[in-house]
Amino acid sequence: MTIPRILTAPDGWGTSGTMHFLKTLFWVVLAVIAVIFSLRNWAPVPINLWAGLTADVKLPVLLLLGILIGFLPTYAVHRTKLWRLHRRIDNLERNALVAAPPAPAASEPIAAPPPTGTEA
């Protein structure tokens, strides 16, 4: 199955070698910053739970859990909208393939209107 043109980037977007390099460089720098932050803050953080329970969790793990808790619902909504759009596009493509029936041929030729006499 091919991806419909409406869901792909316009020509020239993301195909440049320079843009690919910059995108990769951005993610590498972000990963290095995350690793440095994690190593410098690898300390247990107490979390007070219900009924007097306390859990000690490492700070980077706690931050990662918080990010995932915020990301997953948004991702689920995004995937749901994308799924609906795919269904709609598939339905429209199926309807476009069904051609309208051709107009019936006229049984008698249509005569031209009689001349009015004022034509030169």
User: What is the domain range of residue 51?
Assistant: 16-95
Quick check: pTM over 0.75? no
Instruction: Give the Cα-Cα-Cα angle 113, 119, 120 (nearest 5 degrees).
Output: 140
Rounded Cα distance, 47 and 58, in Å: 10
Would 79 be classed as within a structural domain? yes
Categorize the per-residue pLDDT at 118 as very low, low, confident or very high, splitting at 50, 70 and 90. Answer: confident
Q: Residue 44 in contact with residue 50, Cβ under 8 Å?
A: no
Whether 34 is in a domain gets the answer yes
Q: In sequence order, what are the residues at sequence separation of 6 or more whose Cβ sits closer than 8 angstroms to the Cβ of residue 93?
A: 4
Residue 45, helix vs strand vs coil? strand
Examine residue 87 and state whether it is found in any structural domain, yes or no: yes
Count of structural domains within the chain: 1
> Is residue 2 over pLDDT 90?
no
Residue 105 lies in a domain: no
Q: What is the CA radius of gyration of the chain?
A: 32
Q: Where does the pLDDT of residue 80 fall: very low under 50, low under 70, confident under 90, or very high at 90 and above?
A: very high
Q: Residue 9: inside a domain, yes or no?
A: no
With respect to residue 33, please indicate whether it lies within any of the assigned structural domains. Answer: yes
How far is the C-alpha of 62 from the C-alpha of 105, rounded, in Å? 74
Indicate whether 68 belongs to any domain: yes
In a domain, 119, yes or no: no
